[in-house]
Amino acid sequence: MSNPASPPPSTPPVEGPSRANAITAWVLCITAVVGLIVALIGLFKTSDARQQADSTVTSQGQTIASLSSELATATIPTTVTVTATLSPTMQDSSTRPTVTAPATHTSGQVTPTPHNQGSIKLVPGSPPLDLDSTDETWAAAIPIRDADLAFNSPPDRLTPSEGAKMALLGPSTLADYNSCRANYTSLSGGEVMLPMFKVGDNVCILTGEKRYVAMVVTSLDGGITFSVVSYDPPGV
């Protein structure tokens, strides 16, 4: 009797292409999702950066607008105040000397107005002269209180009178209005002896009416002769 035939051995199932395709599809899907998430994160970051930039620009614009408004309404001072500290001697006027001078004694050069000019000769016995006079011969002082200069003797000497003052400048300084003003402190009411005068000497006199008189010695023959110009004070 023959044995029945044995069935062939079973073979393991083989995975078909459908399963591999499914795995590949899942991988692609996951990759796409991850890419989408990354893209969204990048988009959010870009949007946030733009918002920050827009906020910064808006803030700067507001600052510039505020500064422009302040500049438009600002008050710019047109004067500058300088404060100086004076030394004690300058602050206390009581420590500084007070100088009293006639109205004609001021600093700077002045163009004077001649009051009178001519020639004077004084000899022993001549009457006192009024140098404020406009007389061509320099008339004698009448009344005597108007006298400005007298020739007295003996000994022969010139004497300012009635408040007048005189200064002998010598030959090197030309007597005129400005040089007489400049030598104001040298003027004196004291008399000057005739031998002290030399031809060419310059003399200044300040009269009782505060006129400067410029005199130049032209002769010492038999007395003393002067060339004379008197000047009005400023404002006269």
pLDDT tens string 76-109:
554 444 343 333 333 333 333 333 333 344 456 7
Domain boundaries, the chain: 22-67, 113-232
Percent of the chain with pLDDT over 90: 38
| Whether pTM exceeds 0.85 | no
CB 117 within 8 A of CB 216: no
pLDDT for res 55? 66
The mean of the pLDDT values for the chain is 75
pLDDT at 32: 75
Three-state DSSP class for residue 100: coil
- pLDDT of 224 > 80? The answer is yes
The encoded tokens of residue 7 equal: 């069935």
Q: pLDDT-based confidence at 7, cuts 50/70/90?
A: low
104-159 confidence digits (pLDDT tens): 444 567 888 899 999 999 998 888 899 998 887 776 767 777 889 999 999 999 99
Tokens of 211: 């006129």
Answer with the residue of higher pLDDT: 37 or 18: 37
Furthest CA-CA distance within the chain: 210
Percent of the chain with pLDDT over 70: 60
Amino acid identity of residue 41, one-letter, is I
Q: What's the rounded Cα separation, in Å, for the pair 218 and 194? A: 14
HSE at residue 215, side-chain half, CA atoms within 13 A, is 26
